[in-house]
Structure 1
């Protein structure tokens, strides 16, 4: 496997393979266009799809991650479509038909009775579209361009619910993430955030389709179900509802997430599962001074009296309740923050939070969004080059296999080798395992293992636990020592299979660091090959 400073990125070699294929197919425009798309993918932002069942909270989570109200969350026609969110110089929404025709979409912003933005925020009006060519068409997908630092780094794809009563609606998500058949069926997403409210057969079935497509076993990448996204993270969405909006709701959600994580990790379907209260996270990201003032007023109400008022959203908004906040504003708070968010905000103010900015930070942290951002950064953003290279190699393997008979045939063995040798995925699986279970190793060793496989970041000094200013020679010494240590741990006679595989993964990560630092080990056990059995980390 090739390593580089981006953290096991394969981009340089992938570029070379794609370029060689483009030369071989110079006289075949259709195939050349597919290869051009492979090349472009390497230069574009990472593509992350949000998926899950109907009403899982995908659009709300998207708004929270971006920190702006850019995705409609009400049950309109646009939530039945695949919608791409990209960075742009100015807000713009465009509808595309299956044949490439486009039309501008009118964006409407609702407002509540008190003059604040309403709970439903934006709506994309798909009526009366004026297409740039020909007669009216059926909308195939939407593309939203929006100025956003988050979208500059990551293109987010919001997908329809997989359990929609309409087969056509559910099929749109399946085609995007688990394409079937045809040499044009190339993967559209590099990674997936899958939202769970429960863990039922529909969730497991869909995750298995993504998992079997991602070719985690290193089998032939050109089999009928093409390789899917390499990274998959689970989110227990609407986590505050698990505890019925109680102040300890997220504790209950964390227990549920741990159970889901254990079940999914054992099958290799998901690297991590994080509980997130998406509604609270978005409301915290866009908290207004007037809302803070309302919470401050509610904090003066006796605890028992306010608790009785918060038995339900309808009761909380009743005009006959003697609360120091107008009923219209109370209804707005319930729609924006939920009962859990209101209880938490009032409690934090009673405990000493004294301004809107501080409250927003506290609510964001407690919503689970900060933890999710950390996991997304470590497992997706810092590994963006490898995830994109995996998508491009997957597409290239399928193109070469379905268009034989040229000089490009000689490229296919190397492409398949690269797809089969994805050490970064072994690291991702192990990171997920460490979140849900603890290996029988001393705490200091667990911390070192977590760091070495990229749990604190993929830069060489972060993996080695050193200062950013540490000289290369010292880093080499530390990396070589790590190779020896973790190979020795893996050979320990009392180590069970799971622990041995984890230690082998750490050793291989250390070897990768030596390659980055231009000092490959020279010991007799310099290179290792992880066993490819059903219960390994590779």
Structure 2
């Protein structure tokens, strides 16, 4: 049985678990392959792992804070930003430093206070200076592990990585080792991330080269072996508010830039989507305080020309000689937390009728691009978490089998490679990315249906078929059968070009998978939407 339809999604993880189990029995008594296979097995039961990557100062830590909705990642240029840092769910906050030899030590977390007792824009610090092994010079920190009570982290482990363009080659190499693991002394290393969010401030050769290296979205098998990098990649035009120099229309400019980036990256398969996000504004909105709202409300009463002149630069806005109804220290705090774009937008929204801090936070979040990014991450990553985790586990299994040949597990390798090559959900992910940039010669209604059928609005059957959630089994089955006939016909049309025919065939296979699924009880795991 090859898992090549969406109806078989629920079977990918059990089959991966079975194959790993067969391999573990074959390697019983061998410490190194046994440990690697145990890690492959654990991957299937852990939350999805998503890595944040990009060049130096692309805004990775700020975006992480925005996604989690808490100030848990330092955003200044301290030593911790030079390390790979894992953010996981934990009952209580705890930061642990790990050395390459496995030694560990607790890290002190410090918070600075800003204006009038408010948290500073860079208020969180991980103090590595107190580590005994650093002082002794015997060990150096290999990575940090942050455990934090967070609903978001309970669903997704987020890995913050150093900039790929760091002045230190060793710092940049840490990210490469994580996302493109090279052979270790034993001859094998496992993939660490299931998917990547890649942050761009511009698109240059370093970005393209790195995305090509990790092989994001390039399929499951390359030159006879499992690909080295994560399967899914979403691009983010980070610090989008800076593209328009902080003007009120900055995000419109950023969206144009994102569209150009998307044309380049999605056409080549390097990213499935490219979204503009003002990370600083998104995080500030998620943690907006009443005192900050009151300051914006006071600034909204200042004549427009006077406030416009004050907002020519952050330094000018914080000058103590400006007669504004907000103290200079608090103005400096607002500039650091929200940026000039955030200040202008907040004042404008209050002038247009926003009357409380909760409403302002919601409006700022929506305009920051974070909501759109969350939707894309939910559809392309969260709702396909089982497939992505299975892909990572099977890729790791293939590497172990290749690196340690000569056991009964050798017979498993062809099956593993077949699964990696034929899982239909991987083809859906690649097509979803193409649809954001390619103009297939299909009517608009057909493009909307195609996007929905391959999971663009969610993976539950009723969402794929555009039916209400309470649609009965017979109605859903009828809709799936009609979709199979329609998209098979589109794929075989004599005037359809190769790209369009391939897209229609993917849609037809998705509909066929729904037909298989809808023969089963409606409580199958595939019907659950991962949130």
TM-score of the pair, normalised by structure 2? 0.94
Structure 1 contact 278–367 (Cα < 8 Å) conserved: yes
- Of 167, 180, 197 in structure 2, the residue corresponding to residue 193 of structure 1 is 197
Range with bigger deviation, 354-363 or 214-223 = 214-223
Alignment partners' CA distance in 2, 1:266 and 1:109? 44
- Of 21, 26, 29 in structure 1, the residue corresponding to residue 28 of structure 2 is 26
- Aligned match of 1:505: 506
Structure 1 contact 215–227 (Cα < 8 Å) conserved: no
Structure 2 contact 114–123 (Cα < 8 Å) conserved: no
The alignment partner of 2:433 has SS state of helix
Alignment partners' CA distance in 1, 2:455 and 2:441? 20
Alignment partners' CA distance in 2, 1:405 and 1:328? 69
Structure 2 contact 267–438 (Cα < 8 Å) conserved: no
Q: Does 1:216 align with 2:219?
A: yes
- Aligned match of 1:450: 451
Alignment partners' CA distance in 1, 2:302 and 2:7? 56
Alignment partners' CA distance in 1, 2:176 and 2:303? 51
The alignment partner of 1:245 has SS state of coil
1:79-127 per-position Cα deviation (integer Å, ceiling 9, x unaligned): 0000000000000000000000001000000111321111102000000
1:398 Cα deviation after fit = 0.7
Structure 1 contact 5–459 (Cα < 8 Å) conserved: no
1:144 Cα deviation after fit = 0.3
Alignment partners' CA distance in 1, 2:123 and 2:7? 42
Alignment partners' CA distance in 2, 1:113 and 1:264? 42
Alignment partners' CA distance in 2, 1:309 and 1:22? 67
- Aligned match of 2:148: 146
1:184 Cα deviation after fit = 3.1
The alignment partner of 1:175 has SS state of helix
Structure 1 contact 6–382 (Cα < 8 Å) conserved: no
Q: Does 1:57 align with 2:55?
A: no
Alignment partners' CA distance in 2, 1:37 and 1:19? 12
The alignment partner of 2:511 has SS state of helix
- Aligned match of 1:202: 206
The CA RMSD measured in Å over matched residues stands at 1.8
- Aligned match of 2:234: 233
Structure 1 contact 91–145 (Cα < 8 Å) conserved: yes
Alignment partners' CA distance in 1, 2:498 and 2:426? 18
The alignment partner of 2:120 has SS state of strand
The alignment partner of 2:117 has SS state of coil
Q: 1:237 to 1:392 in 2, by over 3 A?
A: same
1:408-449 per-position Cα deviation (integer Å, ceiling 9, x unaligned): 111000000011113222212221222224322222211111
- Of 95, 120, 123 in structure 1, the residue corresponding to residue 122 of structure 2 is 120
Alignment partners' CA distance in 1, 2:89 and 2:356? 31
Equivalence map 1:339-358=2 (5 Å): 339-358=340-359
- Aligned match of 1:249: 250
Alignment partners' CA distance in 2, 1:281 and 1:166? 30
Equivalence map 1:91-130=2 (5 Å): 91-130=93-132
Range with bigger deviation, 459-468 or 229-238 = 459-468
The alignment partner of 1:107 has SS state of strand
Range with bigger deviation, 443-452 or 190-199 = 443-452
- Aligned match of 1:159: 161
Q: How many residue pairs were aligned?
A: 516
1:6 Cα deviation after fit = 8.2
Range with bigger deviation, 88-97 or 300-309 = 300-309
- Aligned match of 2:427: 426
Structure 1 contact 130–136 (Cα < 8 Å) conserved: no
- Of 81, 88, 93 in structure 1, the residue corresponding to residue 83 of structure 2 is 81
Equivalence map 1:477-516=2 (5 Å): 477-516=478-517
1:291 Cα deviation after fit = 0.3
Q: 1:5 to 1:88 in 2, by over 3 A?
A: farther
Structure 1 contact 235–274 (Cα < 8 Å) conserved: yes
The alignment partner of 1:488 has SS state of helix
Q: 1:414 to 1:476 in 2, by over 3 A?
A: same
1:220-257 per-position Cα deviation (integer Å, ceiling 9, x unaligned): 4537xx43100000000000000000000000000000
Alignment partners' CA distance in 2, 1:135 and 1:168? 18
Q: 1:20 to 1:398 in 2, by over 3 A?
A: same
1:319 Cα deviation after fit = 0.8
The alignment partner of 1:16 has SS state of helix
- Aligned match of 2:188: 184
Which ranges of structure 1 fall in alignment gaps of 5 or more residues?
520-538
Alignment partners' CA distance in 1, 2:406 and 2:17? 22
- Of 61, 68, 71 in structure 1, the residue corresponding to residue 70 of structure 2 is 68
Equivalence map 1:499-538=2 (5 Å): 499-518=500-519
Structure 2 contact 480–514 (Cα < 8 Å) conserved: yes
Structure 1 contact 129–136 (Cα < 8 Å) conserved: no
Structure 2 contact 487–508 (Cα < 8 Å) conserved: yes
Alignment partners' CA distance in 2, 1:386 and 1:6? 10
- Aligned match of 1:41: 43
TM-score of the pair, normalised by structure 1? 0.93
Alignment partners' CA distance in 2, 1:8 and 1:425? 14
The alignment partner of 1:95 has SS state of strand
Q: 1:116 to 1:360 in 2, by over 3 A?
A: same
